[in-house]
Structure formats: structure tokens, C-alpha cells
Amino acid sequence: MAVRKTYKLFIGGAFPRSESGRSYPVHTATGDFMANAALASRKDARDAVRAARAAFGTWSAATAYNRGQILYRVAEMLEGRHAQFTAEVAAATGDRDAAAAEVDAAIDRWVWYAGWADKIAQVHGAANPVAGPYFNLSTPEPTGVVAVVAPPESPLLGLVSVVAPAIVSGNTAVVVASEDRPLPAVTLAEVLATSDLPDGVVNVLTGRVAEIAPWLASHMDVDAIDLTGVTDAGLAVDLETAAAENLKRVLRPAPASSDWAADPDVQRMLALIETKTVWHPKGI
């Protein structure tokens, strides 16, 4: 008899059980039972936000070069577990060839964003011309703690495509994994836990989006929320309304026709950074 695993959450670099004590079954694309995943609660969401906030100071203060090297390391470790990720994505989608291609693309996506770590400030910062004896400099800075709802249709590549741009510029993240296909996200958490990524920079919650996301949208210590993976239009409106309470930055849901294999761009990074402009007098 096969004894199936009950997967845990990933909060603050550790793998705790859900405070609720609940779990739910995860099935393959053909309806076969695979494992149990934790049903995260309101307290789990609060714990994840607390861990992300605690990690923000160190992560945002790290050099862009250091953050880029850590993302490269994540890509390297993902490549080392290629077969495992392929099997999990294939079980969720029912197409092994497409799953292998998705894992390849996810690795490339980490590398692509890692390369931007020390370039985003140069490309989207500026030394502004001003009339007067001053330097006027604009530089991008991280927004803070970002809540992310991962896209349900792309359990690995879509996940990486929303997490990597959130953290590459110094933000920390609380991620709500795909509700029906959470196992690639939990396995990615295992990769992150054994990489050089500091504890709390990425936290992964599994469970019902409709149960977890409202607590993140209304949480006063969350600075931005990415609703990419929200498929219920009514829920998306409710989440955006709750996010307005403390003026969170909101990324609205992605269209159902989104192609996660398409070439990425810098817009997701720019949506989660703020530009600070400073004036400094010139020396005589």
C-alpha cells in the first residue's frame, strides 16, 4: 500500500503544519490521488507576512549582485531536480513532454530575472538634468512585502514568472500556490530552503485562494498584492477593495489566455518597485 505524503507550508524558512490542522487531497490530471496538501488558515497567512516583513530589511539591503547570484543558484538547483519537477508537473497537467519544456522554461526564467538584478537600476534609474547647483538622482527601490496569487494553469512556470520579479529587486513575498496543482510550488519551496535565499524572503501557502487571499489583501503590513492567479472576477473586486484600505499597489488578474511561455519583460519588476528621487548640492 502506498503511503502518500501530506505536504506542509513554507514559512520563514521552515515547513510548519497548518495551524488549522486541515489538509485537502491533490489529484493528478486523470483524477488519481497524489498526496495531501495543507489548508492554510488566517493565522498561517499572518505568520507568513510576519516572516516576510522580518526578512525584508536584510534582503532589500543586499547588493543587487548578491541577489542575482542567489537567483542563479536557485536556477542551478532547479536544474538538478529536473526529473522530479517534470514528474510533478506532468502529473498535474497530463503531458510529460510539455512538462519537461515547462521545467526548462522555468529554469531559464530564473536566469533571466537573475541577470536583471544589477541592471534594473541602471536602465530605469536616472541622473536628471536640473537648473541649479544640484545633483538630482532617481533610483528604483523595493515596495516591501508582496502577496502573490500564483496562476492556476501553470503550476511551475507561471509561479516562477510571478515570484522571481517580486524578489529580484528586493521585495519579499507571500505566495498562494495554485489551489488544484500545489505540489510544484511546495517542491520549489524545498529548493528555496536549501539555496542561499534568506529565510522568509519567499513564503508559500497552499489551500483555498478564497480563504487565504482576503486576509492578505486586508493585511496592513502587506504593501502590494499581485492578483494574477485570481480567476473569480467577484473575488478579484473584493480583494482590490480590501487592498485599498492601506493603499496597496495592486496587479490585476491576468487574462485567461495568458501565455506564460512567452518572452518575459521588465513590467512585472517595474510594477513592484518605487522610484525615489533625491537632491544633493554640488560641491564648490
What pLDDT shows up at residue 4? 72
**All domains in the chain, ordered by first residue:** 10-16+41-281 (3.40.605.10)
Contacts of 266 (CB under 8 A, 6+ apart): 116, 120, 123, 124
Encode 198-266 in three state secondary structure: CCCCEEEECCCHHHHHHHHHHCCCCCEEECCCCCCHHHHHHHHHHHHHHCCEEECCCCCCCCCCCCCCC
Q: Is 12 helix (H, G, I), strand (E, B) or coil?
A: coil
pLDDT in tens, 189-241: 999 999 999 999 999 999 999 999 999 999 999 999 999 999 999 999 999 99
pTM of the model: 0.93
Q: How open is the CA angle 162-165-169, to the nearest 5 degrees?
A: 150
pLDDT at 5: 79
Low-confidence ranges of the chain (pLDDT < 70): 1-3, 284
- Reported as a single tens digit per residue, the pLDDT across 26-37 is 999 999 999 999
Identify the pLDDT of residue 49: 98
